[in-house]
Amino acid sequence: MTLFETRGLRKAFGGLVALDEPDITIESGELVGIIGPNGAGKTTFFNCITGVLEPDSGTVSFAGEDVTGEPIHAIAQRGLVRTYQHTRELTTMSVKENLKLAAPDHPGERLGQAIRRPDSVADHEAAVERRADDLLEQFDLTHVADHYAGELSGGQRKLLEIARALMLDPEMLLLDEPLAGVNPTLGQEIVEYIDALNDEGTTFLVIEHEIQTLAELVDRLIVLNEGSVLADGDPETVLDDDEVIAAYLGGTGDDGVTTPLGGES
């Protein structure tokens, strides 16, 4: 069953066309990677499908509904949730508070409801508490639950970012560079978490510059180049594609972020 689909999406910044109709379809339960040289439009794509940016034209549909242009929280409520390349934790709050704040309908903000329906709010708070505790345990963060989030290592911040997204119980999770700045051991753990969550039914779309690691993880790899889909298929075939190799070799690579495809030819 198709869960997610974009058609004819365009986004320009002044004269620069960042998204040029990358038509992308994701089936429910898939684990899909997106790669592409620096500036290919990957983050702009995430921004346009999650309500961070409004596309100039085109449509985004999720679970059979047109969600184009809806605000971030409305799209997240539908079950399409993302993480950010630069993690967004509140550094002077505890790790656990960060998780609890990510829950939908934070009860503390709904005093009117608290007065009218105390039981349901108490139930909600207990459920949020349980969910936060479960995620802390699942991501091996229980021992730092009461630490300020600002004290976490870069890798632990990535884990917290993913855990915060999971507080929203997403049907589809969009991860923007989950391995960037993470040491290889923790990176492997993150890969295993993604794999396990996918086995449990979460659909994934993952932007990542660690191409070899991503290729081993995903069912399908999409290559964006200059805002369009250059290739889409099983990872081995895609990484062997001459046009894909040329697109990477053509990249400037001047900031050291572009990862060579490596070892394929």
Ligand X SMILES: Nc1ncnc2c1ncn2[C@@H]1O[C@H](COP(=O)(O)OP(=O)(O)OP(=O)(O)O)[C@@H](O)[C@H]1O
Pick the closer one to ligand X by CB: 31 or 222. Answer: 222
Pick the closer one to ligand X by CB: 8 or 104. Answer: 8
Least distance between ligand X and beta carbon 234 (Å): 22
Classify residue 94 by its DSSP letter. B
Least distance between ligand X and beta carbon 21 (Å): 14
Least distance between ligand X and beta carbon 257 (Å): 6
Q: Are strands 80-82 and 16-20 parallel, antiparallel or unpaired?
A: unpaired
Pick the closer one to ligand X by CB: 41 or 170. Answer: 41
CA distances 127 to 123, 211, 254, Å, are 6, 38, 48
CB atoms within 10 A of CB 71: 12
Query: What share of residues in the chain are helix, strand, coil (percent, to 5)?
Result: 40, 25, 35
Distance, CA of 52 to CA of 69 (rounded, Å): 9
Distance, CA of 98 to CA of 159 (rounded, Å): 12
Least distance between ligand X and beta carbon 149 (Å): 24
Pick the closer one to ligand X by CB: 89 or 208. Answer: 208
Q: Assign 239 to helix, strand or coil.
A: helix
Distance, CA of 22 to CA of 136 (rounded, Å): 36
Pick the closer one to ligand X by CB: 127 or 257. Answer: 257
Least distance between ligand X and beta carbon 13 (Å): 3
Binding site for ligand X (CB under 6 A): 13, 16, 18, 36, 38-44, 257
